[in-house]
Structure 1
Amino acid sequence: MMMDHMMKPQEMIFFTVNDLILGKKMAVYFRQKDTSASSPHLLPREEADSISFSFKDLHNLLQFFSFSPGSPQANAIEDTLRQCEIKPIIGETKFCATSLESMLDFVRGVFGLDSAFSVVTTTHYTDSYVTFQNYTILEVPREILAPKMVACHTMPYPYLVYYCHSQKSENKVFKVPLRGDNGERVEAVAVCHMDTSQWSRDHASFRVLGIEPGTDPVCHFFPDDNLVWVPQAVSSSM
């Protein structure tokens, strides 16, 4: 899938499992991570738990964070709270983590309280990079064999919030070495969802790929501030 100027760049993270081949070139959007001192950060559990995280308290939260109703920041807070309170799809377990401790508790709940686990993330080998360009797969993608996985995505909020979820349906995790047209190197984490039959027809992936729910697997790359947790006793397959 080459660069399509009719699509929003932010949607160009999706591809099919058949695209995971050596030499494949595709357009990919990698969001630039905010590394400034003012960027949101994770709060300690005690502090996070002292602040309401509920849509019903939106008015009070906007006052607490000093944001005017209707402002971009207020709209982002509202959208995040709504997303976090939407009922999960069939077979999905979800949780919005407002602290590292609560995120680890959720991961343990999925894998088992005594399970060891590790995290994989996308790595950019340059500090500053182009967010949207064509990338070529440099090596055969390496599958991380894991019976379960938990994906955690950052959400727009005054402090760092992760939308974490796990699905009972089959998912595959890959590390994919990429090189951009400008020479930039990335080791990208990709997840392929093998069963999308419960997904909304409005999901952006179906529009980008031109497929229907429950037909072909949907894969996507992760930006470098998102996390994929896997059980530690896993092996890799070439």
Structure 2
Amino acid sequence: MNSLVAMAGCWTSVMAILLGFLVMVVAATQVSHAPAISHWGETLPTVTIPSALRGSVSPVDGSVMATRFATAIARGAIFPATTAAFCRDARLMCEEDVNISPYTSGASIVGEKGTSRALGIKTINDFQFDFFLEDYLVKGAKMNLVENLHDPIPRRAFLPKEVADTLPPLTTSNLPKLMQTFNIGENTKMATIMGTATYLCENPPLPGEDRACPTSVEAMAEFVSFQLGREVKLLATRGAPEAAPVIKKPVTVVDFSKGSLDEGKKIVICHNLMFPSQLYYCHQVTGTKVVQASLAAADGSTIHGVAICHLDTNMWASEHPAFAALKIPRGAEACHWTAQNDMIWVTTHQ
């Protein structure tokens, strides 16, 4: 009898494992056939969708739930229970008490109806920390990085395109509607985060730049394709720690390559922004070149860092943090590393 019970328990465990495996297979199959993946292949046929973006494809892409939620947004008939179910199944982060530096650190400015944004954040540059000069890149040199290029923003999924297209534009005037959509209350930490994101996304780009804040995989592909054409490749920092290092120690430059692109060639930089759904701030810039380096961390790991060197900073605001950090005048060349989940798109067409 005992042997039969043990055998039954063993089969139960095996069936549970098989069931879990089948669930993962079905989920992976659904993502691989998601409309977002197909759209990516049609828009950028020469580049396979990066794993980071594939992992951010909405699990409800092309589903009845997405259609119903988009319809509810269009009708203005969104209820907390509806949003809660959608946030859960769509793998969003609709939590009000989210503490992610630098969004919720320091003072905030209160706007209409109690909404606010972080006061110190005026442009996307205020999220850049690790500035350096090209001359700093010497084998064996030590460099101090704030968090070893760790990205503190939690992983979330993009919105399905039909939901993203139904949202009002990401502007501060539309912030109350956006907060209602994700069931975010006034004077909460997430309200401040959303206020900062909308403030950044509505600001006009610098002269000669172009900008977009894609909320769907399709929008990301379309912006990159429009700016650079269909033949592109992705450069991104790899090997950064999953959590900010507890002990702050310099990294060591092991190897590097300077000017891997022709100086001045147009590129697209996409910065990861916090929002209930996955959101990027993408801007096309010229007068830049990309620098890559292998950086040895104190814990024995190696970070493959990708950096942008801006060759002419005359158009930057005089209070840009790079000038103070590097003690250089406006107009001088300045470089900064990109965090793990940022993306740099370059053309492969010569």
Cα drift, residue 34 of structure 1: 5.8
1:201 corresponds to 2:325: no
Equivalence for 1:221: 337
User: Please, which runs of 5 or more residues in structure 1 have no aligned partner?
Assistant: 1-9
Cα drift, residue 59 of structure 1: 1.1
More RCO (CA 8 Å, sep 6+): 1
1:139 corresponds to 2:285: no
Task: State the secondary structure of the residue aligned to 2:223.
Answer: helix
Cα drift, residue 182 of structure 1: 2.8
State the alpha-carbon separation in 2 of the partners of residues 177 and 11 from structure 1: 20
1:116 corresponds to 2:231: yes
Equivalence for 2:217: 100
Equivalence for 2:87: none
Aligned length: 219
User: Please, which runs of 5 or more residues in structure 2 have no aligned partner?
Assistant: 1-126
Q: Is the 8 A contact 1:141 1:177 kept in 2?
A: no
Equivalence for 2:274: 156
Task: State the secondary structure of the residue aligned to 1:133.
Answer: coil
Q: Is the 8 A contact 2:256 2:291 kept in 1?
A: no
How do 1:1-150 residues align onto structure 2 when only pairs under 5 Å count? 12-29=129-146, 30-33=148-151, 39-55=155-171, 56-112=173-229, 115-124=230-239, 130=245, 132-146=248-262, 147-150=265-268
Cα drift, residue 177 of structure 1: 0.4
Cα drift, residue 32 of structure 1: 3.3
State the alpha-carbon separation in 2 of the partners of residues 76 and 157 from structure 1: 7
Cα distance 1:145–1:54, how it changes in 2: closer, same or farther (>3 A)?
closer
Larger of the two Rg values belongs to structure: 2
Cα drift, residue 229 of structure 1: 0.3
Cα drift, residue 53 of structure 1: 3.0
State the alpha-carbon separation in 2 of the partners of residues 40 and 88 from structure 1: 26
The structure with the greater share of residues assigned to strand is 1
Letter of the 2:202 counterpart:
E
Q: Is the 8 A contact 1:129 1:184 kept in 2?
A: no
Cα distance 1:209–1:22, how it changes in 2: closer, same or farther (>3 A)?
same
State the alpha-carbon separation in 2 of the partners of residues 83 and 127 from structure 1: 26
Q: Is the 8 A contact 2:293 2:306 kept in 1?
A: yes
Q: Which runs of 4+ in 1 moved over 3 A?
A: 30-36, 125-129
Cα distance 1:181–1:20, how it changes in 2: closer, same or farther (>3 A)?
same
Cα distance 1:184–1:129, how it changes in 2: closer, same or farther (>3 A)?
farther
Task: State the secondary structure of the residue aligned to 2:199.
Answer: helix
Cα drift, residue 232 of structure 1: 2.1
Letter of the 1:222 counterpart:
T
Cα drift, residue 150 of structure 1: 0.4
Name the Cα RMSD after superposition: 2.2
Cα distance 1:233–1:11, how it changes in 2: closer, same or farther (>3 A)?
closer
State the alpha-carbon separation in 1 of the partners of residues 139 and 216 from structure 2: 39
Deviations 1:140-187 (A, max 9, x none): 33543252210000111100111001123x101121100122322100
State the alpha-carbon separation in 2 of the partners of residues 43 and 229 from structure 1: 22
Deviations 1:29-84 (A, max 9, x none): 23534696xx3221222221122233222112212212221211001101110111
Equivalence for 2:36: none
- Scaled by the length of structure 2, the TM-score of the pair is 0.58
Letter of the 1:155 counterpart:
L
Letter of the 1:133 counterpart:
K
Task: State the secondary structure of the residue aligned to 2:179.
Answer: helix
- Scaled by the length of structure 1, the TM-score of the pair is 0.84
Cα distance 1:54–1:123, how it changes in 2: closer, same or farther (>3 A)?
closer
Q: Is the 8 A contact 1:21 1:141 kept in 2?
A: no
Equivalence for 1:230: 346
Correspondent of 2:299 among 161, 178, 182: 182
The structure with the greater share of residues assigned to helix is 2
